[in-house]
Amino acid sequence: MSPEQIEALAWDKQGGLLPAIVQDATGGRVLMLGYMDRAALAATLATCRITFYSRSRQRLWMKGETSGDILELVSLEADCDGDTLLVQARPQGPTCHLGRASCFAEAPADFLAELDALVARRERERPEGSYSTRLFESGAHRIAQKVGEEGVETALAAVTQDDEALLGEAADLVFHLTVLLRARGLGLADMVAVLRDRHAAAAR
């Protein structure tokens, strides 16, 4: 966002403040609502760490400045009226002071994106006793074999078993596919990007 775009925002509507809706850039969950003045917006863009204007403290406040649970900026845009900001961020820890991921307890999210992020953490950290850790340590060939097994079981369930069994096998297949992609340094988002490109090409 350029200085000209910042100045063109509707700062006068709410006494120099704009509401800023923060959304998880990975899973889409709405994390919190804060307010930004010009200085908070400039600090956010300069540091890539979400900074608000605290109306209670009457000063700038970087999210996580005491807890360490910062919000890393991914993107930022204004709405059509220029009086509200949508901030895409990557949370480094819980956003809510109650220890929850979101200040809105029932805020919906993309569970597959959350699963992908969890599998990525398992690949990095390799916690002892984790099934994902055992898969990663078995290597890509063994994981690929598991994907093949789960694919066959899913196909068989589709023609010989009930819906509950089919859904269970399909869930196993998606999980193991997620692990296989991560073992190759990829994620579900990369697969979704391919689907999105194919859809765009088909729509042309």
Tens digit of each residue's pLDDT (9 = 90 or more) over 93-107: 899 999 999 999 999
Q: What is the DSSP letter of 111?
A: H
99: left (phi over 0), alpha (psi -120 to 50) or beta: left
Paired tokens of 74: 């991914």
pLDDT of residue 203: 85
**Residue range 29-51: mean pLDDT, rounded:** 96
pLDDT of residue 126: 96
Computed over every residue of the chain, the mean pLDDT equals 94
Characterize the bridge pairing of strands 59-62 and 71-78. unpaired
Give the pTM.
0.73
State the chain's maximal CA–CA distance in angstroms: 65
- Sketch the domain layout of the chain as residue ranges: 3-91, 111-203
59: left (phi over 0), alpha (psi -120 to 50) or beta: beta
Distance CA 200, CA 72 (A): 30
Angle at 17 between CA 15 and CA 19, to 5 degrees: 130
**Residue range 181-196: mean pLDDT, rounded:** 94
| For residue 26, pLDDT beyond 90 | no
**Are the C-beta atoms of 67 and 80 separated by less than 8 Å?**
no
- Options 3.30.1330.10, 1.10.10.60, 1.10.287.1080, 1.10.8.640; CATH for 111-203 is 1.10.287.1080
pLDDT of residue 1: 83
| For residue 3, pLDDT beyond 90 | no
pLDDT of residue 11: 95
Q: Looking at domain 3-91, what is its CATH homologous superfamily?
A: Phosphoribosyl-AMP cyclohydrolase (3.10.20.810)
